[in-house]
Structure formats: structure tokens, C-alpha cells
């Protein structure tokens, strides 16, 4: 039963998540935090932070860890399987069909039309991280880390791994 839930929780976001890995994050949050309650917002944020600090696709790292957290190694395998295999099978199976339609305006329209929905879900997730942060770290620390990491990431293009590392050190020193 838990494996079936894990499969669905990762299969659905990946089969509707047009726009690459990051588009899947709010959809996974909706399943993992919202629907099944396997994690709180705090834990999900930590997973996402570490996921952003490590290389390779974010969707499979999230699936691997959350699957493991919920149901051990078998859970990790199921979640990663649900992330990777369905769309890959579609690609291998329907290659000829897809090849003919790769420049079709309808196909382009699909990801265009999904994008605003993903954007609104990402905005919602941003807001939930904001309220989680305010509740736990407090306004002052929240403002300091947000401004510092915002400048580092957006203005100076510092590598996300270093920004996450710096935030970990700051949190360890001042929020413990």
C-alpha cells in the first residue's frame, strides 16, 4: 500500500510536470506534504536545500530521499522508478510519433499552457517557506539570510552549494 502511494506521489507530478525538473518541485510538495503528510514544510525545505547543493537532476534526488525516508531502500527504488521510467518508456516507445510532432505548435502549446499553473504553485510554495521561516527563525534572522542569499544568488551568481553551506553555518551559529 505504501509503495503504491509512493509510486503515485511521484508518478503524477512527473507525468504532468512539463518544463523540466524544477517544474516538478511544487507538484511533489503538493503530494508529499499536502496530500500524504509524509513530511512537514521544514523537512521538505531542508531536502530541497540539500538537493540544490548537490549536482545531478533535482527530481530524482528528491524522489530517492523522500522514498527512502518513507519506506526504506525499496521506497527509494519505487519513487525513483516512478520518476524516471514512465516518461522514458514513452520516449522510447513513441519516438517515431514524437519525432513527427516535435515542432508542432500544439506540443509547444502544452508546456506554455501548463507554465502559469506551475508558476502559481511555486509562488504558493515560496509563501509557505516564508511563513515557516518567520515562525521558526524569526523576522530578524529571516531578513538577514534572505537579503544575503538573495544578493549572493541573484546579484553575484554565487554557486548555490556555497550559499546553502553558508546558511547552514549561520543557522548552526545563531539559530541553535
Partner 1 sequence: MSQAPHAPLFWAFLRIGLLGFGGGPSMIPLVRQEVVTRHGWMDDEAFADVLAIANTLPGPIATKMPGYIGYRVGGISGCCIALLATIGPTIVAMIALLGLFTRYRDVGWIHGMGQGVIPVVMVMMAQLTWDFGNKSRLALGWWVALAMAAVAGGLIYWLGVHPGWVIGALLLAALLSPRTLPDNKAKETSR
CA–CA distance from 92 to each of 32, 134, 149 (Å)?
29, 46, 41
Give the footprint of partner 1 on residues 41-100 (CB under 8 A). 42, 45-52, 54-61, 64-65, 68-69, 76, 80, 83-84, 86-88, 90-92, 95, 98-99
- Does the protein bind partner 1 through residue 36 (CB under 8 A)? no
Residue 124 C-beta: closest distance to partner 1, Å = 6
Could you identify the residue written with the cell 548552526? 172
Single out the residue of 1, 26, 24 nearest to residue 11, CA to CA.
Answer: 24
Which residue, 3 or 129, has its beta carbon nearer to partner 1? Answer: 129
Residue 65 C-beta: closest distance to partner 1, Å = 5
Find the DSSP H helices in 94-159.
95-100, 105-136, 139-150
Which residue, 2 or 77, has its beta carbon nearer to partner 1? Answer: 77
Amino acid at each position: 500500500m505504501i509503495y503504491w502511494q509512493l509510486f503515485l506521489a511521484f508518478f503524477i507530478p512527473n507525468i504532468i510536470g512539463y518544463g523540466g525538473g524544477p517544474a516538478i518541485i511544487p507538484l511533489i510538495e503538493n503530494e508529499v506534504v499536502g496530500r500524504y503528510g509524509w513530511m512537514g514544510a521544514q523537512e521538505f525545505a531542508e531536502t530541497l536545500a540539500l538537493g540544490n547543493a548537490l549536482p545531478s537532476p533535482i527530481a530524482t534526488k528528491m524522489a530517492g530521499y523522500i522514498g527512502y525516508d518513507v519506506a526504506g531502500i525499496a521506497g527509494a527504488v519505487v519513487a525513483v522508478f516512478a520518476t524516471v521510467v514512465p516518461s522514458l518508456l514513452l520516449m522510447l516507445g513513441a519516438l517515431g510519433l514524437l519525432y513527427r510532432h516535435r515542432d508542432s505548435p500544439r506540443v509547444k502549446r502544452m508546456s506554455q499552457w501548463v507554465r502559469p499553473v506551475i508558476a502559481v504553485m511555486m509562488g504558493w510554495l515560496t509563501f509557505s517557506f516564508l511563513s515557516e521561516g518567520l515562525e521558526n527563525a524569526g523576522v530578524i534572522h529571516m531578513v538577514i539570510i534572505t537579503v544575503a542569499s538573495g544578493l549572493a544568488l541573484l546579484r553575484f551568481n554565487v554557486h548555490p552549494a556555497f550559499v546553502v553551506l553558508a546558511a547552514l553555518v549561520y543557522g548552526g551559529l545563531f539559530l541553535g
